Amino acid sequence: MNVKAHFSALAAVILGVGSLHAATLIQVDATNLGVSDGTAIADLANPGTAGAFSTILGTVSATSHPSNNNAGVLIQGAGFNGAKMTSANTMVSTGMVGNQHYSVMGWVWNAGAGNEEAFVSWGHRGGPTGSNSGFHQGVHPTFGAIGHWGGGALGNPNEPDVGWGNNGADINATFGQWAHLAYVWNGSEDRVFIDGVLSSSEVHMVLNPHQTFNDGSPTLFALGSESDAGNINTTPIAFSGTVARVTVLDTVMSDVEVLAAFNADAPYFFDGIP
């Protein structure tokens, strides 16, 4: 699916979000870079309000993997493996402040993952609880899916981190293939999805992600890792795989809409049908 068709399909999904008007913060697509694998990627376009992403640490490289059911079709993305990109615009400028609700989706490929590997994030680590937001492909039962800084016992509303379903094991089925990961925060509950299907959910305390780092600089959106408290130039839980697409909307998508978004792109990532 080309970029224009992808955006059109996603827009059709967004238009179904009830009376809410969805603003797009991030809409990154690395499947049509037009470069050879191994080429360093300095920037990724983003028509969303967060602005373009630029590599600040390590080397992000064009990397291809076969579609899940058709090895003859290679799909390209941005390979991170410890690198990090950040947005041109700040969190605050996009309205991502306080307990803002949102929906996050990504198409990723990873051979395997550690306890937590963030492919998109904002705020920063270091506390207090609820002051970080990172979306993970990770195996830890408590914080393998979402990191908000608060990784206590499952079901504790004062510990907002979230793991994938089946005690974290659901994520194992995504390794070595393209996977659509999504999470939705409605102001009181996090819901995480794998290939359009609900994997886990948790009701917890309100969120208030950091708007500045300890050095006084404003927090940005990041691809490829979360950030430590000191400044943006850190990769505490780096992503080791490939990111093809990332979307962040300032609205609450329903389970049906998440499934529709997956179905819109699945022919390409699963069967290689553009």
pLDDT score of 2 more than 90: no
List the CATH number of the domain containing 183.
2.60.120.200
pLDDT digits (tens, 9 = 90+) for 8-55: 455 555 545 443 447 999 999 999 999 999 999 999 999 999 999 999
226 in a structural domain: no
What's the total number of domains in the chain?
Answer: 1
Domain-located, residue 32: yes
For residue 228, tell me if it sits in a domain.
no
Token couple for 186: 């409605």
**Is residue 225 included in any domain, yes or no?**
no
Q: Encoding tokens for residue 208?
A: 């208030």
Where is 260: in which H helix or E strand? helix 255-271
Q: Is the pLDDT of residue 118 over 50?
A: yes
Identify whether 172 is part of a domain.
Answer: yes
Query: Could you tell me what percent of the chain has a pLDDT over 90?
Result: 88
Q: Are 124 and 133 in contact (CB under 8 A)?
A: no
Residue 247 lies in a domain: yes
Range of the domain at 245: 3-220+233-271
**pLDDT for residue 151:** 78
Rounded to whole angstroms, how far apart are CA atoms 83 and 223?
Answer: 9
Predicted local confidence at residue 14, as pLDDT? 52
pTM of the model: 0.93
Identify the pLDDT of residue 102: 98
In 3D space, the residue among 146, 139, 107, 103 whose CA is nearest the CA of residue 123 turns out to be 146
**Each residue's pLDDT tens digit, 238-257:** 999 999 999 999 999 999 99
Judge whether residue 232 has pLDDT over 70: yes
Q: How far apart are CA 134 and CA 217, in angstroms?
A: 19
User: Average pLDDT over the chain, rounded to whole?
Assistant: 94
Strands of 146-147's sheet in order across: 43-44, 53-57, 84-90, 220-223, 118-123, 132-136, 146-147
The answer on pLDDT for 200 being more than 60 is yes
